[in-house]
Amino acid sequence: MSTLFCSAQNDLIDIDSIPYRIYPNVNIDKPKLASPFISKNLNEYVVAITREDKYAIIDVTLGNDDKICVQNIIDTLDFPHLAKTGLHSEVNLNSIKTITGRSIEEITELARPNGLSQAGFMAKDETILSVISGDNQIVKKLNTTHPELAKPLFHVLNMMDADLDLNRWNMAKHQWENIRYFFYNNHKVFVDAEDTKGGQKSIFNDNIEGAFFIKIWRELEKEEMKYLEDNYKYLSKDEFNDLVLKLSSLNTGEMEPQYIMRYGFYEGHTYWRTDPITISFIFGLISLPELDGIFENRLLEVLSKHYTE
C-alpha cells in the first residue's frame, strides 16, 4: 500500500457498492469517503468540489496513456537505484556524467535563468546535480520517496485531464474553472490552472514539453498558524509571511511531476520549484509539527537555501 495514503484510508473500497455517483456525475451531499482512496481494483480517487458546489468523485489513477503526459516512467538507465528504491544513490550521483544522453554541463546551462526559459529551472548558482542531490537528502529526511511525492501532483493533472476530455475547460479564457478545490488527507486544497501557448522545452533529452500553468495551495488551519506563530517568533514579519507562502503554495505544470518521477528533480530555487517539503505540507503527507521537528525549527532556512556546490 502506498505511503501516500493515511493509515485510516488503507481499506480498499468496492467502487460499485458505494452509494455515490462517480464523475462525470456529481453528488449533492458530501460523500463519506476518505480522499484520496483506493478501490478494490486499485484505482485511485479524489473527492473534489465543482463550481456549482457539487461533490465529484474523480478517478485520478496514474497511467501512461493520459493525454496530458505519461506518468509511470523512471529513468532506469541513468538512475537504476532510483527505479529500484525511489531514492537516489549518492555514489551514483557523484559519478554520473550524463542524463538522458545529455551532459551534466549542458543540462545545467540550459536550466539556469535565460537558458531554455527566462525564469530558469534552477537558480544561477545551482547545478543540476547539486539540486538533485540536495532534494534527495530532503526526501530521505521526510522518510518518503520521489515517486510518492510526484503522485499527488499527477492526481491534480488527472483531474484536469478528466475535464479536458469532457470539454469542461473554458477555452475562451484558457482556464480550468470547473473544480474549485479538492480534499486530500483531510485538508482542503485549492487549485487554479490555465493552458498556455505551450512549447516549453525540456532541459533533458526526453521529449517532455510544458503547456499548463497550475497554482496549488491550501490555507493554514488555526492550529497550524498558531504553531508557526509560537515557534517562529524569531522571524521578522516579512520573513514569517515568506515562510507561510513557501510552505503552503506552489506553482507547477505538467513538466514538474514528470521530472520528480523520472529524475527526482523538483527544480531549483525559482518560481517553478515544487519543493518536497511544500508538497508534503499541502497534501497532508506529514503534519506541520513533524516537519518542523525533522528540520529542527529551521523551515524557512531549509525552504530558501540554494543548493550550491
pLDDT at 145: 98
pLDDT at 301: 98
CA angle 33, 35, 37 (to 5 degrees): 80
Beta bridge partners of 212: 195
Collapsing DSSP states into helix, strand and coil, what is residue 176?
strand
CB 9 within 8 A of CB 158: no
- Digit-coded pLDDT (tens) for 74-128: 999 999 999 999 999 999 999 999 999 999 999 999 999 999 999 999 999 999 9
**Model confidence at 192: pLDDT above 60:** yes
Beta bridge partners of 179: 50
Percent of the chain scoring above 90 in pLDDT: 90
pLDDT at 66: 62
Mean pLDDT over 274-286 rounds to 98
pLDDT at 9: 46
Q: Alpha helices of 29-177 — where are they, by DSSP H?
A: 80-85, 90-95, 104-111, 128-141, 146-165
Q: Which long-range contacts (CB under 8 A, 24 or more apart) does 227-235 make?
A: 227/288, 227/289, 227/292, 228/288, 231/292, 231/297, 232/297, 232/299, 232/300, 235/300
- Digit-coded pLDDT (tens) for 202-227: 999 999 999 999 999 999 999 999 99
Q: Using 50, 70 and 90 to split pLDDT, how confident is the model at 197?
A: confident
**Model confidence at 1: pLDDT above 60:** no
Average pLDDT of the chain is: 94
Element (H, E) at 167: none
Mean pLDDT over 4-23 rounds to 73
Element (H, E) at 107: helix 104-111
Q: How many whole angstroms from its chain centre is CA 245?
A: 16
Mean pLDDT over 2-14 rounds to 54
Q: Using 50, 70 and 90 to split pLDDT, how confident is the model at 6?
A: very low
DSSP letters, 214-272, are EEEE-PPPHHHHHHHHHH-TTS-HHHHHHHHHHHHEEEE-SHHHHHHHHH-----SSTT
In terms of Cβ atoms closer than 10 Å to its own Cβ (0-12, 13-18, 19+), residue 252 is buried
**Model confidence at 241: pLDDT above 70:** yes
Element (H, E) at 132: helix 128-141
pLDDT at 5: 42
Q: Which of 64-73, 96-105, 122-131, 188-197 has the lowest mean pLDDT?
A: 64-73
Nearest partner of 243 among 191, 297, 293, 286, judged by Cα? 297
pLDDT at 3: 36
CA distance 228 to 208: 38
pLDDT at 280: 98
DSSP letters, 20-42, are SPPTTS-BSSPPS--SSEEBTT-
CB 71 within 8 A of CB 208: no
Question: Which residues lie closer than 8 Å to 148 by C-beta, 6 or more apart?
Answer: 2, 3, 4, 86, 285
- Digit-coded pLDDT (tens) for 118-159: 999 999 999 999 999 999 999 999 999 999 999 999 999 999
**Model confidence at 289: pLDDT above 70:** yes
**Residue 190 grid cell:** 485549492
CA distance 143 to 136: 11
Question: Which residues lie closer than 8 Å to 17 by C-beta, 6 or more apart?
Answer: none
CB 48 within 8 A of CB 181: yes
